[in-house]
Chain A
């Protein structure tokens, strides 16, 4: 474990947070494209509609890396990789959340189609990735179980 790197980055994170508070939030630019209809939708179908994703095609070229059973439902690590050429957006849904759409990443200038984040999940549900490429949408799912824990051994 690299303790030095961790300490340096801890300092950097604190500084970065300040910069963000002073800069990004001030201008509001980062949220210019916030899609209210999609993010406040209460069902998967409505969220897809709000995104303009219609009925995405199932794809094996999307990999979802997430735990089979979440260690902590409040911070579930999720990584999505799209091997679909010309990927321009990757969205993540937790299907049983009150608002299923958790994030939608826009990729441009040939950015690598990989995103990694942490999402909150209240209960066992399918985590769905929705990938946009060449004007079409594709999707894949993986179940993540949220359990009360204990009793193991």
Chain B
């Protein structure tokens, strides 16, 4: 039952979003019982989750209001935010789905619809889909073992065990590799033996080019052979520390992908899919170059894309999906396979609303068990936030701003850099920032903070370099994350320019940044070997214990120019 306060909050949401107030579904704050009823279709079903970032418990996750597409990606999925996204996919504003796929009225809607994800709730949904589609497979696109305190403190063991309990069949990776090559191999060869196939066609040894993992696995559903090819994040040794995987080489490897597709077809695969951690822009380009793939199930860029993007190539059409992050979504693809080929498909990206799905008791017990030994550390209350804290977006999120402010204050720096990670959960105004929640933003295996003297010229060249990794016109040259979060320095960015000319008007405390002057710059997550410094969580925790209350703070957003009326940019 809804109480009076919740009802008033809901009215506020409705008013703000122009929602039809007579909608029974919206007023109830509850979806109809049919929300997760998927009419059966076809004879091969694949479930897809990706980038859960070790979030075992339900969380909030705000989708971005800045996800700029440039060049051929202008106005195309996944570079649509807010109302542009709703319009493109025909989703009614003010609905449960609108909340799941956009940042619109985020806080009020989050209070109405509740948290998302959580492995116990996800487990219930997976089992429900499996019950209606016996033999269906669950694919995990990776970034599963990293992103929480318990994943870091158990050396990924909690997520390895949780995925086995969840019923994952096939997996590929990215952040997994930051536990080191030996740890990954140990898990794949032992924990995953005869349960989860870890596949990656694009990871080979430096010396002879031998495959490190199986490039693909062949499964059978309803008598139909299905090949699932793995594509790990191609730029792992660049975006993350090289020393973690010194003997392995990655890359996109289109040619080898084509060979593997052809081999799988030759061996009788009637459905060929790629489980990819490329990121959606790279997947779209790859789908235009490699033929014979029915669908690419993508991740990395954390885009909750309601329907597949259809890419035409020399021999047919490939569907490209992206299934969001943090356990918020479960993709379900149904293929109709007749005459040895796919003749029809249906896709749903189901938001995992924790309030609508009973927690699976076995998974709940497992999670409680994992957390129990760390309870006192996890539950330490560091501060209360008076504003919405989130990370995702091309530029600074409010949680990044908090980290930057902490770095500058604690380290006595003029400026600060924080990596443009896409993971990190969301907190609502009034929420307590526990150590657990701080670790959601910072839990990595190379957490050292640094304080470095840099000239203005060096600062600019770093910003230009990272910016090119985000806005290079060719997705194959985009190395990874969002723009480096910058504290202390204001700037203008022109995404459509070339490297060296995107960043301008850099100022610090109102004065132009001097190219030859040295500035003290704080940072964290160094990819080079042998850097030692206080872990980032200790620096931010020190700051939070001191301030106790996080007041709304100035978000250091760059001035963005030259992108036209971009459907990926609403500020």
Mark A residues whose CB is within 8 Å of B.
1-2, 5-6, 65, 67-72, 77, 124, 143, 145, 147-153
How far, in whole Å, are A152 and B483 apart by their CA atoms in the complex? 9
B423: contacting residue among A6, A68, A124, A153, CB under 8 A: A153
Is A71 touching B238 in the complex (CB atoms < 8 A)?
yes
Is B239 touching A153 in the complex (CB atoms < 8 A)?
yes
| Contact residues in A for B207 (Cβ distance below 8 Å) | 6
Is B477 touching A143 in the complex (CB atoms < 8 A)?
yes
Is A152 touching B423 in the complex (CB atoms < 8 A)?
no
How far, in whole Å, are A5 and B210 apart by their CA atoms in the complex? 11
Q: Decide yes or no whether B114 CB sits under 8 A from chain A.
A: no
Is B238 touching A152 in the complex (CB atoms < 8 A)?
yes
Binding site of A, secondary structure by majority: helix, strand, loop or mixed? loop
Q: Contacts A67-B251, A71-B250 hold; do A149 and B239 have CB atoms under 8 A apart?
A: yes
Q: Contacts A5-B208, A6-B208, A71-B242 hold; do A147 and B249 have CB atoms under 8 A apart?
A: no
Mark B residues whose CB is within 8 Å of A.
143, 174-175, 205, 207-208, 210-212, 233, 235, 237-240, 242, 249-252, 255, 419-423, 462, 465-466, 468-469, 472, 474, 476-477, 479-481, 484, 499, 525-527
| Contact residues in B for A5 (Cβ distance below 8 Å) | 208
Nearest CB to that of B211 among chain A residues? Answer: A1
Q: How far is the CB of A128 from chain B (nearest CB, A)?
A: 18
Is B208 touching A152 in the complex (CB atoms < 8 A)?
no
Is A149 touching B527 in the complex (CB atoms < 8 A)?
yes
A sample of 23 cross-chain residue pairs with beta-carbon separation below 8 angstroms, ordered by A number, consists of A1-B212, A2-B208, A2-B210, A65-B255, A68-B251, A69-B235, A70-B238, A71-B237, A71-B242, A71-B250, A124-B499, A149-B239, A151-B239, A151-B420, A151-B421, A151-B469, A151-B525, A152-B235, A152-B238, A152-B481, A153-B143, A153-B419, A153-B423
Is B484 touching A151 in the complex (CB atoms < 8 A)?
yes
Binding site of B, secondary structure by majority: helix, strand, loop or mixed? loop
| Contact residues in B for A145 (Cβ distance below 8 Å) | 468, 472, 477, 479
Is A148 touching B419 in the complex (CB atoms < 8 A)?
no
| Contact residues in A for B422 (Cβ distance below 8 Å) | 153
Q: How far is the CB of B54 from chain A (nearest CB, A)?
A: 13
| Contact residues in A for B420 (Cβ distance below 8 Å) | 151, 153
How far, in whole Å, are A70 and B143 apart by their CA atoms in the complex? 23
Most A CB contacts (10 A, CB to CB) among B205, B233, B423, B480 go to: B480
How far, in whole Å, are A70 and B472 apart by their CA atoms in the complex? 15
B466: contacting residue among A1, A65, A70, A151, CB under 8 A: A151
User: Nearest 7 A-B pairs (CB), nearest first?
Assistant: A152-B239, A152-B480, A151-B419, A153-B421, A150-B527, A149-B238, A68-B476
Q: How far is the CB of B125 from chain A (nearest CB, A)?
A: 26
Is A69 touching B238 in the complex (CB atoms < 8 A)?
yes
Nearest CB to that of B478 among chain A residues? Answer: A69
Is B526 touching A150 in the complex (CB atoms < 8 A)?
yes
| Contact residues in A for B175 (Cβ distance below 8 Å) | 153
Q: Contacts A1-B205, A5-B208, A71-B242 hold; do A153 and B480 have CB atoms under 8 A apart?
A: yes
Most A CB contacts (10 A, CB to CB) among B250, B468, B469 go to: B469
How far, in whole Å, are A1 and B211 apart by their CA atoms in the complex? 7
Nearest CB to that of A124 among chain B residues? Answer: B499
